[in-house]
A and B are shown apart, each in its own frame.
Chain A
Amino acid sequence: MSKATMQPEPDSPILEVTDLRKLFPVKKVRLFGAKDRFVHAVDGVSFQVGHGEVLALVGESGCGKSTLALTLMGLEKPTSGDILFEGDSLASQNSRGLKTWRRHIQMVFQDPYESLNPLMTIGDIVAEPLVVHGIAPNREEREARVIRALEDSGLKPATEYLHRLPHELSGGQRQRVVIAGALVLEPTVLLADEPVSMLDVSIRAEILNLLADLRQKRGISILFITHDMGTIAHFADRIAVMYLGRIVEIGQTLEVLSNPQHPYTKALLSVVPVPNPRLRRERIILQGETPNPIDLPSGCRFHPRCPVAFEQCPVVDPRLLSIGDQDEIPHAAACLLVNAESQPVP
């Protein structure tokens, strides 16, 4: 498998997240003895991203994907846990270190219509990171870099875009500008937070191909956040499935897609349209709504919606454990049915 051979050594991740938590306090009128309540946006997440790897993070709206990305950028302060970039800890960075951090790790935001300052020209927007970091202080060099970044992002000829304002561009073009603004710093990690969810279906593939290209040509590691299983299959090396602030299943893309273990993953996959009718699975429609991340269910947080929950599920909170034979890239899931060897996998 070409994808498998592109995997870096598992012992040298570029990004390493350990037991990351981000709770937001809920503002409430406090009566006597009322306890502080929290939104558990990210609640104990650990994973690694290898050099040049694309890790897809999949999950429903509100499961904490954006919060996780913002925490990785140092834009939200983690409640606990830590993030290592090339072995450097985020927690130990001062403001200068944080600035350098944001030179190596860049982010593409969900909404290309909102993430560009409406009063700045495209040229100024893409040049801004260079100005902020004092890179390429002379004008020609800076402009050359801006043009290169724009062209690498698929805006050709770049000189046509330099003096235009964001409102003159389409959504897809704007997202390319955002990507160019990230690339101009030559980052080694790119966090792409649902970069295509606000775009027309027809443009999505182009942007995804652009990201795939970047990984190929520049060896950038990408954390690709999405709520849509369908968009990732063709370029993610691994998939992590997130539910209510936790990773419930993680593994190689093909492995997870062909042999999903967690009932939530199965449900997500069952609703992805499959072109070949013979491969079509039975649709699993989840009962109920996503519980709110303030009052989490006891035990396994998926149990109220789980079609195969049994009496242990509301009691025991399953850990994310490897399953099956231990190959180099583990496939892990957090489900009592999967991890208790005695239980048959349904």
Chain B
Amino acid sequence: MADQVGATNLRSLWRVFRRNRMALVGLFMLGAMIFTAVFAPQIAPHDPDEVIRISIDDIYAKPGANHLLGTDDAGRDVLSNFIYGARVSLTVGFFAAAISVFIGATVGIFAGFYGGRVENLLMRFTDIMLVIPDLPLAIVLVALTKPRLSNIIIVIGILGWTGTARLIRSQTLAVKQRKFVLRARAIGAGNWHIIRRHIFPLVLPLIVVNTVLAISLAILAESTLSFIGLGDPTTLSWGQMLNYAFGRGAMSSGALWALITPGLGIVWVVLACTLLGQGLEQMLNPRTEWHHLSVGAEMVDREQIARHAAMREEASLGAAPTGSPASG
């Protein structure tokens, strides 16, 4: 029975999704970048680890036949760096987003569902996490734990869950009020059963939207950290590329390709996630014909919409290190 539901849901989801051009474009953009990252060895014209004997001409070489997007300060191919950099940035994005959404959704669901003292405790903690400025804390944590990629992922993950927690909490509160939850209690169901079968499936769409947006925030955060020199020195993410280019005179040499390429990569992914997230969100809007995932008019909480809009804005502002990069 369960498979059947899954199938019908996915099919009708796709039917609505197809009609949403914004989401489709976002999905395509994100898909293209994921494809690039996965097949980096096949796509990249040069191996980033290849031993290069450089002459002075290879440093910041202009784009040309051998190096489509020129070379960097070490004479490495910018296009290949970019393609391999997608791997690093997307890896950080996905894993950090997974961590922060997992924490945020768990905290949000438990706070919203149990209420009372549990909620007070969890939300007080969330508020504290929310007011601590993320970037300085991230800098301190990364500096303390050695800038390894896994540490960066964890730091971004555990600093970025607060927005998700508040969003999921308010959604959980709304779902909890619904009559089918009362009916579940009336047939004798316990808390765990109700969370698993009735609360979670109904907040899942919001969790998905949040994950997509969290990916772009995490990529931004990683770029910011790398840009200011706290990236993993053994990997080359887009932020790292920017950092090297900036620190090693790409500007003064007029080697704009070394700056623009990673910058565009970041903008591309952030834009893709924003479009996809926004499109998905529209589909969850009860006014569209997407009935059975729509959560009813009473769920649309103003605060939630405002917060979501703020999140999107933050995401689409680009890699401005002034914002709080790891906040959700």
Give the B-binding residues of A (Cβ under 8 A): 70, 73, 75, 95, 98-99, 102-103, 106-107, 109, 111, 114-121, 123-124, 127-129, 132-133, 162-163, 165-167, 178, 181-182, 185
Contact = CB atoms under 8 A, between A and B. Distances in A.
A162 B1 CA distance: 8
A75 B185 contact: yes
Contact of A129 (B9, B182, B188, B197): B188
B178 interface: yes
A103 B189 CA distance: 10
Nearest to A182: B187
Contacts of A167: 291-292
17 contacts: A75-B186, A95-B190, A99-B190, A102-B186, A109-B182, A114-B180, A117-B197, A118-B202, A119-B201, A119-B202, A121-B1, A121-B5, A127-B1, A129-B188, A163-B4, A163-B5, A182-B187
Contacts of B193: 132
Contacts of B186: 73, 75, 102, 106-107, 109
A106 to B, nearest CB: 7
Contacts of B8: 165
| Interface size class of chain B, counting residues whose CB lies under 8 Å from the partner chain | 20 to 34
The 3 closest A-B pairs by CB, nearest first: A114-B179, A102-B188, A129-B187
A22 to B, nearest CB: 16
B178 A114 contact: yes
A271 to B, nearest CB: 29
Contacts of A99: 188, 190
Given A128-B189, A128-B197, A185-B187, A115 B5 contact: no
B306 interface: no
A132 B189 contact: yes
B198 interface: yes
B206 interface: no
Given A98-B188, A109-B182, A165-B8, 19 more contacts: A75-B182, A99-B190, A102-B186, A102-B188, A103-B188, A106-B186, A109-B183, A115-B180, A118-B292, A119-B5, A121-B1, A121-B5, A124-B1, A128-B184, A128-B187, A133-B188, A163-B1, A166-B292, A178-B183
Contacts of A162: 1
Interface string B184-223: 1111111001000110011000000000000000000000
Nearest to B205: A119
Contact of A132 (B5, B180, B187, B293): B187
B11 to A, nearest CB: 12
A119 B188 contact: no
A67 to B, nearest CB: 12
Contacts of A185: 187
B2 interface: yes
B197 A120 contact: yes
Candidate in A103, A116, A128, A185 with the most chain B CB atoms within 10 angstroms: A128
B188 A165 contact: no
Interface string B241-258: 000000000000000000
B73 to A, nearest CB: 54
A119 B293 contact: yes
Contacts of A166: 292
A121 B184 CA distance: 15
Contact of B9 (A114, A119, A163, A182): A119
Contact of B179 (A106, A115, A128): A115
A165 B5 contact: yes
A165 B185 contact: no
Contacts of A123: 1
Nearest to A110: B179
Interface string B268-285: 000000000000000000
A115 B187 contact: no
Nearest to B179: A114
Interface in B276-305: 291-293
A123 B189 CA distance: 17
Nearest to B185: A75
A121 to B, nearest CB: 5
A102 B184 CA distance: 11
Nearest to B183: A115
A95 B202 CA distance: 26
B76 to A, nearest CB: 51
Given A109-B183, A114-B178, A120 B5 contact: yes
A118 B184 contact: no
B315 to A, nearest CB: 28
Nearest to A112: B179
Nearest to B8: A165
Interface in B139-181: 178-180
Contacts of B1: 121, 123-124, 127, 162-163
Nearest to A162: B1
A127 B197 CA distance: 13
Contacts of B291: 118, 167
Among B183, B189, B190, B198, residue most surrounded by chain A Cβ atoms (within 10 Å): B183
Contacts of A109: 179, 182-183, 186
B187 A181 contact: yes
B323 to A, nearest CB: 36
Contacts of A117: 180, 184, 197-198, 201-202
